Amino acid sequence: MKETGIRSVTGLLFAAVVLFSVVLSVWSNVLLWGVVALMGVAEWRRPSAQKHLVPSLLFAILMVGMTGVMLLLVWDSLHGFNPAPLLTFIALIWTNDTGAYLVGKPLGKHKLMPRISPGKSWEGLMGGVVLAAVVSGLLMGWSSVWVGALLGLTATAGDLVESAWKRRHHIKDSGALLPGHGGVLDRFDGFVFAAPLFLCLTHFVGFDFILNSCFS
């Protein structure tokens, strides 16, 4: 099976598990993001240089913090459990990844940061940002297209940080959880920076999520 086919099958299965867990209940979210945090820490400790206590503890705190942010995105203090904001956030990050792959793979000629991530291109970056902006307009109103673009750039920054970490430790993927996609850190690296930003935006700016109607 070609790379695109493998990525498609494993990506769909992965997406189904994540989305089902997000919409089911608060407790399924606790389980999902708790497992993501634990597996992320385990992958980060895999290179021998990462087995020192202090760096491992700091990274574990970072992953716990990300878990807390994801849970805050599904809990409304006024209305209780509401997965609409988190579903919207995930859609924006995943469409950014998808746009970057679909545009960058065939058209990427100008490398973004070749010494850190040789596969990333300026064309892929623009493809991801534009698609995320369009989806943010569809899910949050057209006055919010800037949110998708901003999150696309922020998620790419998180991806590049993880790529630099992998390059430093001479590993291709953080793990082998998903054939064609890598490990947990490979799939959620963009969330680490983008999720806190999105949480702050929803708190201070406020958005009208189209998906609210599905859970009201």
- In the prediction, which pLDDT does 110 show? 84
- In the prediction, which pLDDT does 44 show? 79
- In the prediction, which pLDDT does 106 show? 85
- In the prediction, which pLDDT does 175 show? 57
User: What digits encode the pLDDT tens for the residues 131-167?
Assistant: 999 999 999 999 999 999 999 999 999 888 887 877 7
Reduce the DSSP state of residue 181 to 3 states and report it. Answer: coil
Measured over the CA atoms of residue 48, residue 53, residue 54 and residue 59, the dihedral's sign is positive
Reduce the DSSP state of residue 77 to 3 states and report it. Answer: coil
pLDDT band with cut points at 50, 70 and 90 for residue 172: low
- In the prediction, which pLDDT does 45 show? 75
What DSSP assignment string belongs to 16-28? Answer: HHHHHHHHH-HHH
Residue type, 2: K
Q: Which two tokens stand for residue 145?
A: 């297209």
- In the prediction, which pLDDT does 214 show? 87
Q: Is the pLDDT of residue 168 over 80?
A: no
Residue type, 111: K
Q: Which two tokens stand for residue 122?
A: 């300026």
Q: Which residues contact 58 (CB under 8 A, 6 or more apart)?
A: none
Average confidence (pLDDT) over 87-108 = 92
Average confidence (pLDDT) over 106-118 = 84
Q: Is the pLDDT of residue 173 over 60?
A: no
List, as own/partner pairs, every contact residues 61-65 make where C-beta atoms lie below 8 angstroms and the sequence separation is at least 24, other chains included: 62/192, 63/36, 63/37, 64/37, 65/196
CA distance 192 to 56: 16
Select the highest-mean-pLDDT range: 9-13, 167-171, 184-188: 184-188
Cβ burial, residue 200 (10 Å; 0-12/13-18/19+): exposed
Average confidence (pLDDT) over 189-194 = 90
Q: Which helix (H) or strand (E) holds 108?
A: none
Average confidence (pLDDT) over 186-193 = 87
What total of structural domains would you count in the chain?
1
Reduce the DSSP state of residue 206 to 3 states and report it. Answer: coil
Measured over the CA atoms of residue 97, residue 102, residue 105 and residue 109, the dihedral's sign is negative
Per 3-state DSSP, the chain is made up of helix, strand and coil in percentages (nearest 5) of 75, 5, 20
- Mean pLDDT over the full length of the chain: 86
Residue 158's domain spans which residues? 3-214
Average confidence (pLDDT) over 192-196 = 93
- In the prediction, which pLDDT does 210 show? 94
Q: What percent of the chain has pLDDT over 90?
A: 49
CA distance 59 to 40: 9
